[in-house]
Amino acid sequence: MTRRVLVLNGPNLGRLGSREPDVYGATSYAGLVDTCTALGKELGFDVDVRETNDEGELIRWLHEAADGSIPVVLNPGAFTHYSYGMRDAAAQRTAPLIEVHISNPYAREEFRHTSVVAPVATGTIAGFGIGSYRLALRALADELTD
């Protein structure tokens, strides 16, 4: 049986490949989707990758995950640093939730050093480019088998 997993992405992540490639790499959003779905299949996951620039939509997806006990890989984008509504939705999780970032927030501007999500996440993976998502999916696989 395959386990459903949501990979949720916040603002500007749909612009991967064209947005600041020196920070976020050359992989397009479609490439991210392909990477996550392919690895998910190997791990026995049915991965649903989503992206939104809308805080309310991201909160509704986190509610969906909580209501369905669906594990989540979450890249909140800029919402990481200030969205208490998203943080409160993530805190309602009923399955593992891994916070992920393509860049290393601690190597960037000071305002990026604070995550309101990290305290309610199972764990955080950052700084490995698109590989951060691969690491997060593997971490979910480990969490779900322990």
Active site residues: 24, 101
Short-list 136, 125, 118, 7, CA closest to 62: 7
Length of the chain: 146
Distance, in Å, from the CA atom of 44 to the CA atom of 123, rounded to the nearest integer, reads 21
| H helix or E strand, kind and range, residue 3 | strand 3-9
3-state secondary structure of 123: strand
Residue 92 token pair: 């309602």
* 112 appears as a binding residue in the annotation: yes
* 75 appears as a binding residue in the annotation: yes
* 3 appears as a binding residue in the annotation: no
3-state secondary structure of 45: strand
* 125 appears as a binding residue in the annotation: no
The number of helix segments (H) and strand segments (E) in the chain equals 5, 5
Binding site per annotation, positions for substrate: 75, 81, 88, 102-103, 112
Binding site per annotation, positions: 75, 81, 88, 102-103, 112
